[in-house]
Amino acid sequence: MIQLRDIKKTYKLNDGEFNALDVVSLDIEDGEMLAVMGASGSGKSTLLNIIGGMDKPTDGEYKYNDIVVSDMGNTKLHNFRRDTVSFVFQQFALMNRYTIYENVEMPLIAKHISKSKRKEIVREKLQIMNIAEQAKKYPTQLSGGQQQRAAIARALAADNKLILADEPTGALDSNTGNDIMNIFTEINKSGKTVIIITHDEKVAKCCQRVINLSDGKIV
């Protein structure tokens, strides 16, 4: 369970300060599927990055399953991320110099899983995502939809409880976007907590709960 209490994120600018998140409190239950909406610059990504341990709040407390994440040092935070969170990005964030197979394999290497086990898991996830034939190709040789499937396969391979997606359909046409959303729904059904940032009402409709951000505040 995610518990955010009075989270503040302040950026120092040349002319004063800017509150990207302005006292946000939010609870997210395990197994929930949540959509985060809001105008550009409202602080959605900032919120997601804090939940995922990619960024630290300036103020406030973030607890995950009663462990205080907001106080963690770098190494603990990295390990929290490794063992708990998987990200899916709008621009896929695949490493272009590595094959799809190798990209999907990365989180497993980080988790020190044996090679044979890795092979088994990567194969399975690629199969589920329907891109097993693309395993040996490089990201640039794939379509946007296929790349996002690969990115999701990577997120699934890690087998983490928390899947965070920052506009996963933003770079895709609406048909492909629907496919991807179906996948997320399936993932959520398998028991994982899914948080999706989106501008798309249709996407938000797939989720059990929608929160709206405006100028760093939940409205």
Partner 1 sequence: MVAIIKRSLLNRKKNIILIILTNLLGICLTTLIFFQYYISNYGEKLIRKNLSYGTENTYFMSYDYALNDEMQLKTIDEMKNIEGIGAVGTCSYEELSWSLKELYDIQKKYEGENEDEALNYFLTDSSGLKLSKIELSEGYIDEEEYDEFTMCVYLGSAYREKYSVNDEIVIPSERLNDEGEIVPVDNKFIIRGFIKDGTGVIDTEALCNMEYYTYDYPIAGTTKSTIILQDNTYEGRGYIFGIEDTDRSEEILGEIQDIAKKNNVEMSFESVEESFKDYRESTKRESEWLTDILGLILVTVILITCCIQITTVIKRKSEYGILYADGFNDKNISFIIGMENLIIMGITCVISAIVTRYMLAYIFTTYEYQKVIVYKIFAENIAGCIVMMVMGIWLISTVTPVMLFKRMRTVDLIGGNDT
Smallest separation, CB 203 to ligand ATP (Å): 13
| In contact, 164 and 86? CB cutoff 8 Å | yes
102 binds partner 1 (CB under 8 A): yes
Residue 11 contact, options partner 1, Mg ion, ligand ATP, none, Cβ 5-8 Å cut-off depending on partner type: ligand ATP
Could you say whether residue 74 binds partner 1 (CB under 8 A)?
A: yes
Under rule CB under 6 A, residue 14 binds ligand ATP: no
| Closest to 26 measured CA to CA, from 5, 49, 1 | 5
Does position 67 interact with partner 1 (CB under 8 A)? The reply is: no
Residue of the chain from 90, 147, 169, 198 that contacts partner 1 (CB under 8 A)? 90
20 binding ligand ATP? (CB under 6 A): yes
In contact, 36 and 44? CB cutoff 8 Å: yes
78 binds, among ligand ATP, Mg ion, partner 1, none (CB under 5 to 8 A by kind): partner 1
Binding of residue 198 to ligand ATP (CB under 6 A): no
Closest CA to 180 of 167, 192, 191, 190: 167
Which positions lie near partner 1, rule CB under 8 A? 45, 49, 54-55, 74-75, 78-79, 81-83, 87, 89-91, 93-95, 97-98, 102, 106-107, 109-111, 154, 158, 166-167
